[in-house]
Structure 1
Amino acid sequence: MTTNQTARVLELLKRFNSGEKVCIDVLQNDAMWFGKSEKTIRRDLDVIKEYFPESFDLIRGGKGEKGCYKAITKEIFNNFLDQDTLALMVQTFNIAQRNNILESLNIDENDKKIINTKIQKSKECYEFVTKPFETKKQDVKLLREMERAITYKQYITITQQEAKGESSYELKPYKILFINENFYLVGENANEAYPFSIFRVTNITDIVLHKKTFHHNPDIVDFIKTIQTPYPKYTPSFRRHLIEVVVEVSPKKAKYFKMKQFLPSQKIIEQKNDGSILFSFTVTQEMEIEDLVKKWIPHMKVVSPDSLREKIETDVRAYLL
């Protein structure tokens, strides 16, 4: 580099470090770059990229601006880490540490030690009673392969551990879902008799990616967005087959359902004079709501459909015998 270019590059680094937005057309009116071509300015930026590839990124400038860049600085992270976000990140790191995820990260050992130190310090303020999802080092490798297959829409064959041994399935993978503190792989089954499948990642022992690719089924994409539990039932044109479940919650427990949505589809239908409340849930099959109802017996009863109410009553009688 010439002396002048060195000075310009150092000035760019200074501006990036202070969190400034750097735009090529604005620099052309700056004293250090006045009269310089766009090509010269880009060469200055390329010098920084050569030595610090992840130092800054192209962003969308304002009206009339082009070629604008900005660096992710410590100050930006400080603004990002508000109270709610920080609490979420602390929980995430705690889960990561308790499941050996940090061990799988391709980062310097000293950096891992620093992260672990921060996690340990966070435990002075946080304690997590609910057990997080269980995972193994092998799961992390499988998740990475699933991510690749989902990104490039590749067919896969998965092998799953089942009660009677291992079974294999060919699948068009769509998404990895996190439900009830567990990861699930969901997608379109290559077997037309079972158009949609959901697999718990911890039960998957092997995955093979194929060169063959596929296109998404829009109906299944829409269906995945509505999944609430690990027990969804897909039927083509699924919205025509959704089931509305109405339950009544006693006055003693109604406040808990007003404070929290136990499923995303939960809605208040009616608040009665005695304080009890009618809630509705929209599900793909009755199994999705059974566990919730049973957890809240005797403070919750099914109003409709009759088939679910009778199923719950039969299960309760069998339990009491």
Structure 2
Amino acid sequence: MKNHDKIATRLAQILNKLNSGERFSVEELVEEFSVTSRTIQRDLNERLSYLPLKKENNLYYLEEYYLGKLNFDDIKNFAALSGVRDLFPSLKEDFLKNVLDATINQAYLIKGHDYEDISGDTETFLCIEMAIINHTVIEFIYNGKLREVKPYKLINTKGIWYLASVEDEKLKTFSFKKISKVTDTDLAFEIDKSVSENIQNSDNTWFSHEPIEVVIKVDAEVSGYFTRRKILPNQTIVKELAEGGLLVSTKVAFDEEILKIVRYWIPHVKIISPVHLQEKLEDILKKYLKL
């Protein structure tokens, strides 16, 4: 789970407590959420500073006039916003107050990807999470085969969970839903900083294969989409063309990883290199047109 997701979950629970009229100490929250007192202090004094909080006998609570003001949707809205701060130009105090206002928050609608349902795999998820935190080797069954890996990160890409881990000294990716019968061996391993940096800095989901560098020509009609955000994994703008188009570079693990994106943008994009990828795309389209 990403750090901002943990923050969002914790804040939502604290908000729910406050909204219900509960009183609690910093120490109680530290024990409940297994975080430091400094983290809880930051939650209360910074992240929730826009609320009318009171402190009495070392217990925090919400001003009486504000009790019950937040409905369940309000709490979910704030929890979501706290986890996607970069989505907005700023998340200042006035903005947060407006978001939690039942009238003003009608101005916002956030649409994202559908997320795969892993609610039935909570124990597996938590077992892997703890192994990542404790740097311990795990075993599991994947595609009918027993695997022994050093787990590094649980990664969510477009709503799908993956496990990035090292097996036989190679960085590999496993689809979480295909993982079963996880066992924590309690065998500690040392984190390889270069592996962590590779995972952190790469836009690719699959680390099991050597990356393929692909250069794509983008027409002027759609170049704005590619300059505003990264359409391609590990996208780099190589050159801005005279007519307003772009040459864009990317690195992918599989042919299909880039072909499916290019198909979406036809006829405004073309693969320049490697040539065999453009030829493969054209063959696929020819076969489709014959159907």
TM-score of Structure 1 vs Structure 2, range by shorter chain: 0.5 to 0.7
Structure 1 residues 53 and 200: CA distance shift in structure 2, 3 A: closer
Instruction: Specify the code of the residue in structure 2 equivalent to 1:294.
Output: R
Q: C-alpha offsets along residues 139-181 of structure 1, whole Å, 9 cap, x if unaligned?
A: 2222211111112222211224x5xxx4432221111111111
Which residue does 1:281 correspond to in 2?
A: 250
Cα offset, 1:282, TM superposition: 3.2
User: TM-score, normalising length from structure 2?
Assistant: 0.62
Which residue does 2:263 correspond to in 1?
A: 294
Indicate which of 249, 259, 275 corresponds to 1:306. 275
Counterpart CA distance in 2 for 1:152 and 1:170 is 16
Which residue does 1:204 correspond to in 2?
A: 179
Indicate which of 136, 144, 149 corresponds to 1:154. 136
Instruction: Specify the code of the residue in structure 1 equivalent to 2:200.
Output: K
Cα offset, 1:57, TM superposition: 6.0
Which residue does 2:150 correspond to in 1?
A: 172
Counterpart CA distance in 2 for 1:133 and 1:267 is 28
Structure 1 residues 52 and 58: CA distance shift in structure 2, 3 A: closer
Which residue does 1:77 correspond to in 2?
A: 47
Counterpart CA distance in 1 for 2:157 and 2:78 is 16
Matches within 5 A, 1:48-87: 52=28, 54=30, 71-72=41-42, 74-79=44-49
Indicate which of 203, 213, 223 corresponds to 2:198. 223
Cα offset, 1:254, TM superposition: 1.3
Structure 1 gaps, min length 5: 1-47, 60-68, 94-117, 236-241
Cα offset, 1:316, TM superposition: 1.8
Matched, 1:258 2:227: yes
Cα offset, 1:204, TM superposition: 2.3
User: TM-score, normalising length from structure 1?
Assistant: 0.57
Counterpart CA distance in 2 for 1:70 and 1:153 is 25
Structure 2 gaps, min length 5: 1-24, 52-75, 84-99
Structure 1 residues 317 and 158: CA distance shift in structure 2, 3 A: same
- Contact in 2 for aligned 1:139/1:201 (Cα 8 Å): no
- Contact in 2 for aligned 1:249/1:277 (Cα 8 Å): yes
Which residue does 1:137 correspond to in 2?
A: 119
Counterpart CA distance in 1 for 2:105 and 2:125 is 28
Q: If you compute each CA radius of gyration, which structure gives the higher value, 1 or 2?
A: 1
Over the aligned positions, Cα root-mean-square deviation in angstroms equals 3.9
Counterpart CA distance in 2 for 1:256 and 1:309 is 21
Counterpart CA distance in 1 for 2:117 and 2:81 is 16
Q: C-alpha offsets along residues 189-217 of structure 1, whole Å, 9 cap, x if unaligned?
A: 14x6xx23212222323311113222334
Say how many residue pairs are matched.
224
Instruction: Specify the code of the residue in structure 1 equivalent to 2:47.
Output: F
Structure 1 residues 137 and 307: CA distance shift in structure 2, 3 A: same
